[in-house]
Chain A
Amino acid sequence: DAGVTQSPTHLIKTRGQQVTLRCSPKSGHDTVSWYQQALGQGPQFIFQYYEEEERQRGNFPDRFSGHQFPNYSSELNVNALLLGDSALYLCASSSRFPYNEQFFGPGTRLTVL
């Protein structure tokens, strides 16, 4: 049973560029959440997708957008990259109900130069 997978593993971009990160949820899960983790900090919630719609959003600007596909996989897009967007981006999958545990992928390390 495959767990949560993310691609790519590492990514280097320059300021102003756009990036797309991808996530496939654990088998049987239909909900995907995205988190940003700066160095030395805990993960910060970006948004969550369920039934191909954004269900909840954290305190992130509109430069951060996402998408969920019919097979429950998801993408995170970040436009107009800033140096401060450098972080580990984590995808987590879960069942549709609140309060359940979330299973995390290995993350994508984004470096913005």
Chain B
Amino acid sequence: SQQGEEDPQALSIQEGENATMNCSYKTSINNLQWYRQNSGRGLVHLILIRSNEREKHSGRLRVTLDTSKKSSSLLITASRAADTASYFCATPMDSSYKLIFGSGTRLLVRP
């Protein structure tokens, strides 16, 4: 079963624009993590936001977390062609060690 669901499934923007993708989850969480995957290869960890945090920044990335709505958003500002990838949110289930991933958002940044 999938804990997180990303929205939209696909997003196409022009270079320089901002990209926003959303993630909804079902159960209470300790933290929520965002990953990037290029061309079906390994996942790169982008950012981890804990349940007691509301917003976190890392370079051009901004992540928000709303635990009352069980949702998170990832904003990429001033996008570049190199940002073209699939983006996944993932949460650890309860006190388990495994990460539960959503189905991802495919981002295309057009030069």
A interface vs B, CB < 8 Å? 4, 6, 31, 33, 35, 37, 39-45, 48, 55-56, 58, 88, 90, 92, 94, 98-99, 101-107, 109
Q: A102, B42: Cβ atoms under 8 Å? A: no
Q: Are B103 and A42 in contact (CB under 8 A)?
A: yes
Cα(A112)–Cα(B86), bound, Å: 24
A42 touches B104 (CB 8 A): yes
Decide if A42 touches B45 in the complex (CB within 8 Å): no
Tell me which of A33, A99, A106 has the highest count of chain B C-beta atoms within 10 A of its own C-beta. Answer: A99
Q: Is there contact, CB below 8 Å, between B92 and A43?
A: no
Contact assessment for B44 and A56 in the assembled complex, using a CB-CB cutoff below 8 Å: no
Q: How far is the CB of A22 from chain B (nearest CB, A)?
A: 15
Q: A42-B102, A55-B97, A101-B45 are in contact. List 8 more A-B contacts (CB 8 A).
A: A4-B42, A39-B40, A45-B100, A58-B98, A99-B30, A101-B48, A106-B42, A107-B42
Are B99 and A102 interface neighbours, CB within 8 A? yes
Number of A-B contacts (CB under 8 A): 69
- Determine the distance from Cα of A38 to Cα of B30 in the docked complex, in whole angstroms: 27
B15 to nearest A CB, angstroms? 25
A90 and B40 alpha carbons, distance in the complex (Å):
11
CB distance from A96 to the nearest CB of B (A): 9
From residue A113, how far is it (CB to closest CB) to chain B in Å?
A: 19
Shortest distance in angstroms between B46's beta carbon and chain A's nearest beta carbon?
A: 10
- Given A90-B42, A107-B42, also A33-B97 (CB < 8 A): yes
| Smallest CB gap from A48: residue in B | B97
Chain A proximity of B56: nearest CB distance (Å): 13
Identify B101's interface contact among A40, A43, A98, A99, CB under 8 A.
A43
